[in-house]
Structure 1
Amino acid sequence: MNAKLYSTLLLVILIGGWVVLDEGFTFTNTENSKSVPCQQPLTYQLGDIDSRFDISEHELIEVLEEVEALWSSALGRDVVDFSESGTVLVHLIYSEEQQRTDAERQFSNRIKAKEQEEEVARREFDRLSKRYEQKKQDVQQTLETYNETASTYNELAQKWKGKEATSEIIAKFKKLEQQIKNLEADLKHKKKNLQQLHQQANNKTEQLNRLVNEYNQLIDEYNERYSEPRRFDQGRFVKQGTQEEINIYQFRNRAQLKTVLAHEVGHALGLKHVSNPKSIMHKMMAEQNMGNLQLTDEDITALQQQCN
């Protein structure tokens, strides 16, 4: 069984996988808003939500409520609030970059599906390998029993060679002959099963190597298409006269959407970018803890200064 190729290629996967993970995105810088969050909450309402985004209106409202709580916690009172007649319209605008993100997500799903297919095949290979080793030991034990029985028969035959055997010895000969015959049939059957398992394991090895090659090809294609860093605007706060809008153009998942919204709401509150790369109001989205998004001291200070 050619397991060496499988092991070698699997190592390539583990090494190659690191290439896919490092990404960063740019937030848009904007001029300060004239909102005064210290005197009254900044109100917003939902605007146009492109149906091509994989998010419902209810889910979007939930994310916005989380953003509300995030900024309100800095002052201990409401600074952002939903209103049917809110002053800031929140739009989800399906952009070219979102199309690219969706295509990348679909490609990533293909890679995950291929990885899962490989994992299923690997478990089946391990199961077959374990069964093969067990059956191989069983054949070896049966062969040893056969050899011992044949040796006993030969020793007895040599001892009684040229002599008239008693009925007891004749019965013993017949019993040994039957045992040898049964063992031969058993051994033949077990060897046949062992050969079948050997072939199945070889076939599974070939399948594994094919799947690993296909997986590596997908990784290479993914890296060629998507690994090159690209800078683009995921969101923008826009103020034209009395019209205020938060336009969201692209997000990968709920956590990323929340981060972009929190950043643009910060601009709507009148905040500028801060220097801490872990801050929500940093110009780049890269080092924020999107899994547990929190305001940094710089974010809180910026809001408090805006209120003075």
Structure 2
Amino acid sequence: MILGGTIFYAQKSEEIKLGARNMLKKANLLTVCDETLYYSLGEIDPRFNISNADIKNVLAQAENVWEKDLNKNVFEYKEGAEFKVNFIFDERQQRTVEGNNLNEQLDKLEEIQSDISKEYQTIEAIYQKTLATYQKNIKDYENRVEEFNAEIKKWNKEGGAPEDEYEDLKKEQKALEKLQEQLEAERKKINALVLNLNELAKKENKTVGNYNEKVQTYKEKFGESTEFNQGEYNGLGINIYQFQLFDGKAGFGKYKINRRGFGGD
């Protein structure tokens, strides 16, 4: 039984009701006249990275687990009380810290991969639209060049074009030259988009590889749940060895792998 995010875990509510008072009385923590256990904070290792105020808040929330079932004020914080709640940092909490750090790294990589994917999709859409326009413009250009050459050939056979036709041909030639320059600019733009897409693909592959490596590390370190006492009663108080907060709520538990690498089945 431990004191933590949920004070003194028991398998069933009935075990709490029947065994709570007897256990505390045998430990000389409760008397017939005074059935409230007053506690205070003892040794709090700063490596837990939690303030005394937060600990008090967590313990106050945890009191409700017993007090709800017993319908009595069983625990109460009192400054200087002899019964101490200690937070002792050892390999158990170190494991928790390492797991949390690795989880944060994985979350960050997921965010990076998501951003890259969104950027890739945006640029790919621009690329596809630009390419379709370019291909249409190329086809139109080739048709106009073919018609222009046919006109030149026709008038050459007839010994030359009239003045007005000749001027029209000169205008068309300049228009085709300008269109060719525009098509070249479009081609360069498409190539730049392709290079951008390739760079994003490389960046995403690198991120995915990094993520999968960390997932493997996570599995190797935390894939198998390790059983250990997260807190112990020593007669004078409670020693907490493993503690973490989940969305502002205290938690004691085993690591279970819930990460999958990118590209997995």
State the TM-score, normalizing by the size of structure 1.
0.67
1:246-261 to 2 correspondences below 5 Å: 246-254=238-246, 258=250
Between the aligned partners of 1:94 and 1:181, the Cα distance in structure 2 is: 77
Give the distance between the partners of 1:37 and 1:138, measured in 2 at CA.
Answer: 89
RMSD after superposition:
2.8
Question: Hey, what's the Cα distance between the residues in 2 that align with 1:38 and 1:192?
Answer: 89
Please list the CA deviations of residues 120-178 of structure 1 after superposition, one character each: whole Å capped at 9, or x if unmatched: 32223222222221221121122122123213313433443333422321222112111
Distance 1:135 1:259, change over 3 A: closer
Question: In the alignment, is the contact (CA less than 8 A) between 2:113 and 2:208 conserved in 1?
Answer: yes
Quote the offset at 1:194 in angstroms.
1.1
Q: What is the aligned partner in structure 2 of residue 123 from structure 1?
A: 118
Pairing of 1:158-237 with structure 2 (within 5 A): 158-163=153-158, 164-237=160-233
Amino acid at match of 1:258: A
In the alignment, the residues of structure 2 paired with residue 248 and residue 259 of structure 1 have an alpha-carbon distance, to the nearest angstrom, of 12
2:59 to 64, 89, 113: 64
1:32 corresponds to 2:23: yes
Q: Compared with structure 1, are the counterparts of its residues 38 and 196 closer, same or farther at alpha carbon in structure 2 (3 Å cutoff)?
A: farther
Q: Is the 8 A contact 2:134 2:186 kept in 1?
A: yes
Unaligned 5+ segments in structure 1 are: 1-26, 261-284, 287-308
**How far apart, in 1, do the equivalents of 2:33 and 2:138 lie?**
89
Q: How many residues align?
A: 232
Change (3 A) 1:114 1:254: closer
Distance 2:202 2:73 in 1: 62
- Per the normalisation by structure 2, the TM-score is 0.76
Residue type matched to 1:32 in 2? Answer: M
Give the distance between the partners of 1:37 and 1:251, measured in 2 at CA. 33
> Deviations along 1:35-73, whole A, 9 cap, x unmatched?
369964322111111111111111111111212344333
Q: Is the 8 A contact 1:36 1:42 kept in 2?
A: no
Q: CA deviation at 1:254?
A: 4.9
Cα distance in 2 for residues equivalent to 1:38 and 1:70 = 23
Structure with more relative contact order (C-alpha pairs < 8 Å, separation 6 or more): 1
Partner of 2:93: 98
1:122/1:109 Cα in 2 relative to 1: closer, same or farther (>3 Å)? same
- 1:178 partner SS: helix
One-letter code of the match for 1:162? K
Deviations 1:249-271 (A, max 9, x none): 112325797355xxxxxxxxxxx
In structure 2, the CA distance between the partners of 1:252 and 1:131, relative to structure 1 (3 Å rule), is same
- Give me the identity figure in percent: 25
**Runs of at least 4 residues off by over 4 Å:** 27-31, 36-39, 254-257
- Residue 153 of structure 1 aligns with an amino acid whose one-letter code is F
Structure 2: runs of 5 or more not aligned? 1-8, 12-18, 255-265
